[in-house]
Amino acid sequence: MLKLRKKKLKMAELIRLMKNLDQEVTKCSRCGICQSVCPLYDVTKQESDVARGKLMLLKGLMRAFFEDPDGVWQRLDRCLLCGACAQNCPRGVNSVEIFLTARMIISGYKRMPLIKKIIFRHLLSNPKFFDRMVAWAARWQYLFFKNADLQIDGSCTAMVSPLLSNRRMIPLATVPFHKTSSELTSTGKSTGKKVAFFTGCLLDKVFPGVATDIVRVLHFHEMSVLIPAAQGCCGIPSLASGDSLAFNRLVEHNLKLFDPSGFDYLVTGCATCTATIKKIWLSMFESPSEEMTAVLHQLAEKTYDISQFLVDVVGVQPSGSLPETAGCPIVTYHDPCHLRKTLNIFSEPRTLVRVNDSYVFTEMPDAASCCGMGGSFNLTHYTLSADIGKKKVRNIETTDASVVATGCPACMIHLSDMLAREKKQIRVAHVVELYAEKILPQEFL
């Protein structure tokens, strides 16, 4: 059996993390390049919101953490973790990992709020219990939520609207993907390649149709598909909230289900899950054993975003025939931060979209800029999140697109909300949905 961790996180470990962090922070030369790419600074114009400002705060790390942990937390919390600063930093300062580690240190030093403990340690860390809770919530959701698809208000919406800030919600699926899939699915004329599918919470519970399309597309390309039951969250919401304990538990849980020796590739349809498995599991899991480090490396190498897998591994390309442009609907593409900035994946999803020649592809201005979602940032700083989202809507509008494609379910939720708020009739689709619509014959639908 895989030996996972050398030891538990202790105070000595916190101090070691702080010292490492101090060294990382001093790499910053204060050049200010990160200011020009930070989507948050773009709307607030506050130096404390940009990576440079946060790194300066962390310079007197030890003192600041012990004297004013809440103040440090509040400053660090105003960040989308979009990675634009890290991607463009000439000194190679990985601000996202610095902020994640700093949040982890603060949470390790002071008590976590009870509500966070309940959410991360008792709900998200127990996938079966989480599934049951979400199924219960799905039954009652229409009483509370405004709906991004149907534009209707629930009878209790007014009661909870201060909490929901007038969000237009994509409803939870009444039947999540895991209820419809079996563990190992095969086409019968398989190439012999086995692909493990990491579903992720949002594709499972909000967009099961996208998850189903991924499996159908893999079958179409003659892959056997392994879908382990009781998959957990990738752990990034816990880590972003500083809860390393819940993050470590989730990584351990998922590693037991996804042994890389049992498949050739692992694919996901979620930009955030892909980036987390490829980068964050390796860099942020606390004190992994040597054996576990080797397994995490293997898994990172085998993990692909679905568009990257279809284009780079399967060899999917557009036919080359251009659609009639007159009267042809337009599709544009929004780059999820975790694909573009963390993994440098941007041509493959565009290639996949271009396969569907029922649309004319038109690039929007600033497609790589963040949509404003930022995971829990959207929950805690919705006004800022919406201000950033409005800019994205303007950019989408300039293309006259009837469809905006992307590769991240979290971006899909925020884009749908932003477009619905402004009453724009623009469909938000996952790139794999557009690909499936074009290539799948009837028997796969």
Q: Which residues bind ligand SF4 (CB under 6 A)?
A: 28-34, 37-40, 50-52, 55, 79-85, 89, 91, 93, 95-96
Measured from the CB atom, the residue of 310 and 339 that comes closer to ligand SF4 is 339
CA distance 211 to 301: 22
Measured from the CB atom, the residue of 93 and 195 that comes closer to ligand SF4 is 93
Helix, strand, or coil (residue 216): helix
Residue 251, φ and ψ in degrees, nearest 5: -60, -45
CB 42 → ligand SF4: shortest distance, Å? 9
CB 243 → ligand SF4: shortest distance, Å? 19
Secondary structure element (H or E) that encloses residue 41, with its range: helix 39-44
CB 339 → ligand SF4: shortest distance, Å? 15
Measured from the CB atom, the residue of 364 and 384 that comes closer to ligand SF4 is 384
CA distance 125 to 123: 6
- The answer to whether residues 330 and 400 touch, using CB atoms and an 8 Å cutoff, is yes
- The answer to whether residues 144 and 163 touch, using CB atoms and an 8 Å cutoff, is no
Measured from the CB atom, the residue of 53 and 409 that comes closer to ligand SF4 is 53
Measured from the CB atom, the residue of 21 and 173 that comes closer to ligand SF4 is 21
Measured from the CB atom, the residue of 40 and 245 that comes closer to ligand SF4 is 40
- The answer to whether residues 356 and 437 touch, using CB atoms and an 8 Å cutoff, is yes
CB 77 → ligand SF4: shortest distance, Å? 10
> 369: closest CA among 337, 411, 393, 396?
337
DSSP string across 232-273: PP-SHHHHHTT-HHHHHHHHHHHHHH--GGG-SEEEES-HHH
CA distances from 268 to 126, 324, 350, 356, 371 (A): 21, 33, 17, 21, 20
Angle at CA 37, nearest 5°, toward 32 and 42?
Answer: 100
CA distance 440 to 445: 7
Measured from the CB atom, the residue of 40 and 124 that comes closer to ligand SF4 is 40
CB 390 → ligand SF4: shortest distance, Å? 16
CB 40 → ligand SF4: shortest distance, Å? 4
Measured from the CB atom, the residue of 264 and 366 that comes closer to ligand SF4 is 366
CB 371 → ligand SF4: shortest distance, Å? 12
CB 368 → ligand SF4: shortest distance, Å? 12
Burial class (CB in 10 A: 0-12, 13-18, 19+), 216: buried
